[in-house]
């Protein structure tokens, strides 16, 4: 029997083991290894795979393909456009500005943009678009209602109650039912003009139109070339005053060229040139009779 002499085992950890264990017991390091490393590995694999441009393009192509397949399913296709609330003329205009090549996928329709395009038309006040089930693109249109005829620099045009352009017009007689306004800046004061027209209802048959003067006040033009010069402020009240005078004294029926109300404190009447002569003659003869 031979005694085998073994070197005594050293239970002490080596410096490296000791340091590694201490490092491992450091909370931050531990967290980084246990959570950070797997996370980094999981993120790195797809990142490496995608670092190739061809693969990226291939995947993008596949995604686009699937997307197209879904979009072009018959459930999503739009086959026709129905326009409601528009006259034939306007409907034709709308079809012209919205060139759609039916059938088209509803994903390709930019309803917001189409709505803006339709509302950009003069005759359209508001448009409402929706894709109805059954593949119908429904377009509800509210047209502008012409309220006045505006004689501007470019010719005759129809304006609505807010002064927006509706459509050009060939001749005045086509819309003889609407009042006529003229003058520079008249289209920007249409509401006031309409109020004046409404106030002038008692002399409606004599009214020829309204003329904007100096972009601040209105002249009411009657037949026989009579004018009522209204102030910039409280024009309606001034006009009502003139109409009231007319009602009592038939003022407008006399040979007067201009009723000037520009200064409300001092209304002035200008007679027609012939009437002035006539008036003088009457004054003279009247004076002669009494004196002579």
Contacting residues toward other proteins, per CB under 8 A: 1, 3, 10-13, 15, 17-19, 21-22, 25-27
Which of 188, 128, 182 lies closest to 164 in space, CA to CA? 188
Tokens read off for 29? 């390091």
**Shortest distance, CB of residue 36 to other proteins, whole angstroms?**
18
CA 158 remoteness from chain centre: 18
Question: Rounded to the nearest whole angstrom, what is the least distance from the CB of residue 11 to other proteins in the complex?
Answer: 5
Residue 45: CB minimum distance to other proteins, A: 32
Cα 214 from Cα 104, distance rounded (Å): 53
Our CB check for other proteins shows the closer of 8 and 214 to be 8
CB 2 → other proteins: shortest distance, Å? Answer: 9
Decide whether 21 or 87 has the Cβ nearer to other proteins: 21
Task: Using alpha carbons, select from 219, 206, 218 the residue that is nearest to residue 252.
Answer: 206
CB of 21 to other proteins, least distance (A): 6
Give yes or no for a contact between 194 and 201, defined as CB atoms under 8 angstroms apart: no
The smaller minimum CB distance to other proteins, of residues 25 and 48, is found at 25
Q: Of 15 and 73, which has the nearer Cβ to other proteins? A: 15
In angstroms, the CA 272 to CA 254 distance is 10
For residue 45, which phi and psi values (nearest 5 degrees)?
-60, -55
* Of 158, 163, 169, 114, nearest in space to 139 by CA: 114
Nearer to other proteins, 34 or 282 (CB): 34
CB neighbours of residue 94 within 10 Å: 21
């Amino acid at each position: 029997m031979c005694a085998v002499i073994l070197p005594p085992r050293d239970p002490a950890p080596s410096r490296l083991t000791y340091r590694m264990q201490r490092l491992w017991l450091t909370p931050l390091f531990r967290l980084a290894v246990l959570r950070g490393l797997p996370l980094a590995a999981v993120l790195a694999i797809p990142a490496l795979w995608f670092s190739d441009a061809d693969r990226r393009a291939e995947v993008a192509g596949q995604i686009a393909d699937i997307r197209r397949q879904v979009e072009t399913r018959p459930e999503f296709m739009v086959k026709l456009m129905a326009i409601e609330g528009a006259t034939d003329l306007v409907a034709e205009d709308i079809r012209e500005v919205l060139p759609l090549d039916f059938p088209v996928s509803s994903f390709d329709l930019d309803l917001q943009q189409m709505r803006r395009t339709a509302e950009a038309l003069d005759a359209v006040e508001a448009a409402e678009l929706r894709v109805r089930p059954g593949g119908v693109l429904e377009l509800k249109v509210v047209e502008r209602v012409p309220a006045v005829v505006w004689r501007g620099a470019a010719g005759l045009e129809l304006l609505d109650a807010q002064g927006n352009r509706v459509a050009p017009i060939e001749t005045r007689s086509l819309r003889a039912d609407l009042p006529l306004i003229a003058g520079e800046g008249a289209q920007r004061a249409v509401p006031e003009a309409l109020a004046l027209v409404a106030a002038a209802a008692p002399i409606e048959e004599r009214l020829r139109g309204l003329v904007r003067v100096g972009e601040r006040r209105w002249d009411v033009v009657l037949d026989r070339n009579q004018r009522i010069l209204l102030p910039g402020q409280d024009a309606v009240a001034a006009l009502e005053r003139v109409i009231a005078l007319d009602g009592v004294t038939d003022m407008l029926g006399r040979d007067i060229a201009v009723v000037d109300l520009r200064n409300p404190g001092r209304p002035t009447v200008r007679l027609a040139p012939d009437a002035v002569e006539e008036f003088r003659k009457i004054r003279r003869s009247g004076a002669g009779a009494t004196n002579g």
